[in-house]
Amino acid sequence: MGNTILEIRHLSKSFGSHEVLRDIDFTVQKGDVTSIIGASGSGKSTLLRCINLLETPTSGEILYHGENVASRGVNAAAYRSHVGMVFQSFNLFNNMTVLENCMAGQVKVLKKSKAEARAHAMEYLEKVGMAPYINAKPRQISGGQKQRVAIARALAMDPEVLLFDEPTSALDPEMVGEVLSVMQALAQEGMTMLVVTHEMAFARDVSSHVVYMNQGVICEQGTPEQVFGDPQRQETRDFLSRFRSN
Amino acid sequence: MEQFVKLGQDMALLWSNYAGNFFDGSGYLGGIRNTLILALVATVIGCVIGLVCGILNTIPYTKNDPPLKRFVLKLIRIVVRIYVEVFRGTPMVLQAVFIYYGLPYFTGNAVQWPSVWAASILVVSVNTGAYMAESVRGGIISIDPGQTEGAKAIGMTHVQTMLSVILPQALRNIMPQIGNNFIINVKDTSVMFIITFTEFFAFHRYLVGVNNMYFPSAAIEMVGYLTMTLAASLILRFMEKRMDGSDSYELVQADQLTMAAGTYSHPDRGTPFDEHSKEHREKTRQMLKHGRMRGER
């Protein structure tokens, strides 16, 4: 059990009377690359945002190393610094350069020295291939480049698990590749990742677990071979067939 | 035409006799000095008040927070709301009288204002603060909430998020508002004559009381105020440009991941779904030619 990072138990979330998530249960082990797939509006993003406490779950538990972070009085900021998040719309800080974006969290939250933060940030910017652009402002680089910076920014915090919320959905088709290849490299290095995605090829080839969500519940989960190769539920088959048509 | 010549002569006469000294606070120039100092100090203090109110007003709270925190935050919002409505909704000239004479009245003349400067700065600052509070709130909510989420996601607290991410951008967005307020203050400090503050307009009132040259003096005042506000506009524009920073940046080296056409790698590479594969190109060609793929029904 020492390898379990996150354990989600009976998680539910409603917006008003609209129930978005119902009784979600799953665990994230160290080194897992879990893809969450499903149609738009099935609650994938809400689930991810609940895990990062950007949304407050209506009920249920989120156990981070056995401690329930969804309860009252938990220091959400401290927890979030261990759980990185990459957003669909990048959410870079527009008033900072690429390098400053990757240093801000280290300096302000982890209280590292500037030199240390800079060296660490450069390491990850190098990894995502954005080292040449350290002096650029977010408005000066392309969407794919922004997302790579956002990944480096999250990595620079040395998170235990990295959440991706549809990281390629806001990108032009020719930029999807550059972001996916960075994510693939991360997965191969053993980074624990939780990815909400519409990229079925990524879910099938890169992830170790696939979770299929439908209308706020986990409909089916398992290895990619199980879910893609031999889906048990009719909903899953219907969903996947839409991606096979090409 | 004669009138203009006469006006010119009168203005020159007034100016040569009463131009005064910018540094010792006498004459027209002294009035200009007092006006500028009051407007500048009050705008700066007003902006600080506005920033504090704006930040306090936008502290988020959720249902999971302890009831005490929620109560305090709600109370703060109500207090700020009342402050803004009261000082935005009453004339500044009245506020000046109210505060200047209110303090001795309530303390039975035990406490007097140390100087008319202190009272004037307080009134104009508090007034500016009320307007700025709303501008700052607008500036903060105009920054896309994604950036707040981005900052939270790397573990920043609300104060850290505000200070390092949101406020620098909000401040840039409300620069035109700050400029507006400064220019309004340059002009509206003229009502401070009511509590005997000797700024630019007060000197005019004093002078025409002595020599009855109402119109030439007013003309000098017009030119004087317009010069101050135009200079302020220019300086503010310059500051805005400075805040925007340079539009260019230097590449430190070449980027290896951004593709030159056709050289990038992606998961579909080598499969028939790769847009650059022979199969895919053939498929596209066929579709263009026949309207659909060969063999597809």
Of B28, B35, B32, nearest to B204 by C-alpha is B28
CA distance B20 to A180: 72
Domains of chain B: 35-196+236-245 (1.10.3720.10), 252-296 (no CATH)
Closest CA to A64 of A130, A161, A147, A142: A161
The minimal CB distance from B266 to the residues A76, A92, A181 is found for A181
- pLDDT higher than 80, residue A156: yes
pLDDT tens digits, B63-107: 767 788 889 999 999 999 999 999 999 999 999 999 999 888 888
Q: What is residue B275's predicted lDDT score, i.e. its pLDDT?
A: 64
The pair of structure tokens assigned to B260 is 């030159």
User: Is-contact B104 B112, C-beta < 8 A?
Assistant: yes
Q: What are phi and psi of B38, to 5 degrees?
A: -60, -45
Whose structure tokens read 């082990």?
Answer: A29
pLDDT at B273: 60
Q: Between the CA atoms of B265, B268, B271 and B275, what dihedral angle is there, to the nearest 10 degrees?
A: -80
Q: Residue B159, Cα to own-chain centre: how many angstroms?
A: 20
Closest CA to A102 of A62, A131, A68: A131
For position B98, what pLDDT does the model report?
Answer: 92
- Measure CA of the first residue to CA of the last residue in chain A; give whole Å: 42
Among B147, B164, B172, select the one facing A91 at the smallest CB separation: B147
- Say if residues A183 and A164 touch (Cβ distance below 8 Å): yes
Question: Which of chain B's residues have a Cβ under 8 Å away from the Cβ of A104?
Answer: 151, 154, 156, 164-165
* Rounded CA separation A88/A45 (Å): 10
B264 pLDDT band, cuts 50/70/90, is very low
Predicted confidence band of residue B56 (pLDDT cuts 50, 70, 90)? confident
- If you ran DSSP here, which 8-state letter would residue B21 be given? B
| Separation CA A127–CA A120 (nearest Å) | 11
Angle among Cα A81, A163, A60 to the nearest 5 degrees reads 85
Q: Give the rounded percent of residues in chain A with a pLDDT score beyond 90.
A: 59
Q: Please judge whether A148 and B257 are an interchain contact, meaning their C-beta atoms are less than 8 angstroms apart.
A: yes
CA A54 from centre of chain: 13
B266 neighbourhood in chain A, CB within 8 Å: 176-178, 180-181
Q: How far is B236 from chain A (nearest CA, A)?
A: 20
In Å, how far is B290's CA from the nearest CA of chain A?
17
Nearest CA in chain B to A181: B266
Name the pLDDT band for A66 (thresholds 50, 70, 90). Answer: confident
CB-nearest to A87 from B146, B165, B254 is: B146
Contact criterion met (CB < 8 Å) for B258 and A178: yes
Provide ipTM, 2 decimals.
Answer: 0.87
A212 CB within 8 Å of a chain B CB: no
Whole-number pLDDT of residue B256:
53
